[in-house]
Amino acid sequence: MNWIEVLGWTGSAILVVSLLQTRLLRLRLVNLVGCLVLLVYNSTVGVWPMVGLNVVLALINVVFLWRMLRTRHDDRHYAVVEVRPDDAYLRYVLDRYRDDIARTQPTFSFHPESVDASYLVMKDDATVGVVLARSAGEDTAEVLLDWVAPPYRDFSPGEFVFRDSGLFSGRGIRRVLSPAGMRNPYYGRIGFRPEGERWVLDVDPA
């Protein structure tokens, strides 16, 4: 097998891998790489219809990636909806993604009576995140759960809860503590500061 054939098989393998991705951003990036590899391969062997196809697919991926990255921190594309801790839809989401939640926050256990604030993060008609918090002192809130749906995990939609200081300051909260035992926390990117084994957000007064 010569290097041209290796290149072709490699590009095909990358495309297959891209379709196995659960995260939208990662799917588009991996698929774009596969298209570019196959573009080189098909150009080399002179299969021009496939060259055209891969050019079109690469451009589609570039457009979608541009849109995703342009809107990932834009609150016009996300909404935070406060719900009651005993809300039926909230319980449905938590039950539906119980296994995924256990992988990212293995210490979390849902007890509605211990939750003081619960928020759903929406993008269009999709629920892409859940944030649950409880009081942890006179002016402190502790995040019990900060979960993001797998397709949107590269976008950190929970930031829209913490960016809107009114969601916490209106309750008299001045400090927000990150969840205990959370794997791969992203809080350093959205204004939290490290404090021991936790991350802390200083909330601006309302």
- The two tokens of residue 70 are 């342009």
* Amino acid of residue 100: D
Query: Mean per-residue pLDDT for 111-124?
Result: 92
**Higher-confidence position of 40 and 198:** 40
Q: How far apart are CA 176 and CA 185, in angstroms?
A: 14
pLDDT tier, 27 (very low <50, low <70, confident <90, very high otherwise): very high
**Residue 82 pLDDT > 90:** yes
Residue 121, judged by CB atoms within 10 A of its CB (0-12, 13-18, 19+), counts as buried
pTM: 0.82
Average pLDDT (110-124) is: 92
Q: What is the pLDDT of residue 106?
A: 87
Instruction: List, for residues 168-184, the tens digit of each pLDDT value.
Output: 878 888 999 988 777 66
Q: Per-residue pLDDT averaged across 125-132, rounded?
A: 92
* Residue 206 banded pLDDT, cuts 50, 70, 90: low
Question: What is the per-residue pLDDT for 187?
Answer: 84
CA proximity to 171, closest of 137, 120, 131, 122: 137
173 CB neighbour count, 10 Å cutoff? 23
pLDDT, position 185: 72
Q: Which range (3-12, 48-57, 140-149, 197-206) has the least confidence?
A: 197-206
The H-or-E segment that residue 135 falls in is strand 126-135
| pLDDT for the residue 157 | 82
Structure confidence at residue 69 (pLDDT): 86
Percent of the chain having pLDDT more than 70? 97
Pair 168, 202: CB distance under 8 Å = no
Query: Which phi and psi angles does 177 have, rounded to 5°?
Result: -100, 140
Angle at 36 between CA 35 and CA 37, to 5 degrees: 90
The CA distance from 159 to 179, in Å, is: 14
| CA gap 80, 130 in Å, rounded | 9
Per-residue pLDDT for 43 more than 80? yes
Residue 17: per-residue pLDDT: 95
pLDDT in tens, 86-95: 999 999 999 9
> Could you tell me the fold of the domain covering 79-202?
Aminopeptidase (3.40.630)
